[in-house]
Structure 1
């Protein structure tokens, strides 16, 4: 039995989100149990619902937090070796993130009888747009000279392709092999950036 969490509101919310992330990692978004989350966070159901009035509100906040973490990771891509190498590095880091972060994987899979909420769809769309813009900014800083709309389209293509390759296994690319992911990006994606 966990000790009752009498921490501040912020600390309770953090404990709730941590417990929700653990639960989503184990059972998926569709089977997230508010009772389990409350118990794991050491808060009462009433405290949980004061912090997150609905299950959808909790899932949406967890999604936002997960996507913010992803954006922070994508901003660590090196830009010193030119736009094509930066594109390869961004793709590789995106594949690592999408295949290695359990909560991100669960959000992408949306398995079973689960239907995404409108807020989650909006969050995913916002993440895609934000990630594409961040990648375009990094590639521009790395020296990309192509028009803005074309650069943004290429960045969105990279992100959508990374998500697809991680979600659906293919004999074309082992997403768990960094060298193979790098070679794939260098051969097929880097030439799109100039």
Structure 2
């Protein structure tokens, strides 16, 4: 690939795009800074000026990926009431976890257990952030249960979505939006009061 003379923000965007593609392809544990530099069209020295270490690059990619996920989860409509908001949030979470390869790799959903221990911290932060965002959405939709209980229910939804996506089951086809909605409406929405 040709070297780029792009400005700093364009170089960072190219680096993060190349890193996302590499993570989706080989996982976080096998992420190669040389491949990323080549794919982004920057020199190794430019890559390391923008991201001083592999961990710094992975952390920024994780932050960007999780910000995207939070933005997607915030699109859930809350005007139909808390139980329907729970169904919509669960469905959107499953869509996100089945359709975003970088997210799958960060949350270890593809069985790539070669990642650094910091990735477990990133996954934990995502789970807490997602549960908190979902609890806020459910509260805005009219949920009346105490905050602690609402947060616990939201975390159950998030953890169950990740588990169902990671380990297939004949009980639910996670690629079928209607089946995911029926599942959430039957088993998860009743938890929200």
Q: TM-score, normalised by structure 2?
A: 0.95
1:16-165 to structure 2, matched below 5 A, reads 16-109=15-108, 111-112=111-112, 114-118=114-118, 120-165=119-164
Question: What's the counterpart of residue 188 of structure 2?
Answer: 189
| Runs of 4+ residues deviating >4 angstroms | none
Cα distance in 1, alignment partners of residues 113 and 162 from structure 2: 21
* RMSD, matched Cα: 1.2
Which runs of no fewer than 5 residues in structure 2 stay unpaired?
none
Q: Which residue matches 1:178?
A: 177
Deviates further, 27-36 or 145-154: 27-36
Contact kept, 8 Å, 1:28 with 1:111, in 2: the verdict is no
Give me the whole-angstrom Cα distance separating, in 1, the residues matched to 2:113 and 2:78: 42
Counterpart Cα distance in 1 of 2:111 and 2:44: 26
Matched residue pairs, number? 192
**Distance change >3 Å, CA 141–CA 113, structure 1 → 2:** closer
Instruction: Note the C-alpha offset of 1:50.
Output: 1.2
Worse-superposed segment, 170-179 or 26-35: 26-35
Instruction: Give a deviation string over 1:68-95, Cα, whole Å, max 9, x none.
Output: 0000000000111100000000000000
Gaps of 5+ in 1: none
Length-normalised TM-score, structure 1: 0.95
Secondary structure at 1:4 match in 2: coil
Go from structure 1 to structure 2 and tell me whether the alpha carbon gap of 1:108 and 1:5 turns closer, same or farther (over 3 Å shift). Answer: same
Distance 1:106 1:115 in 2: 9
User: 2 CA distance for matches of 1:100 and 1:111?
Assistant: 16
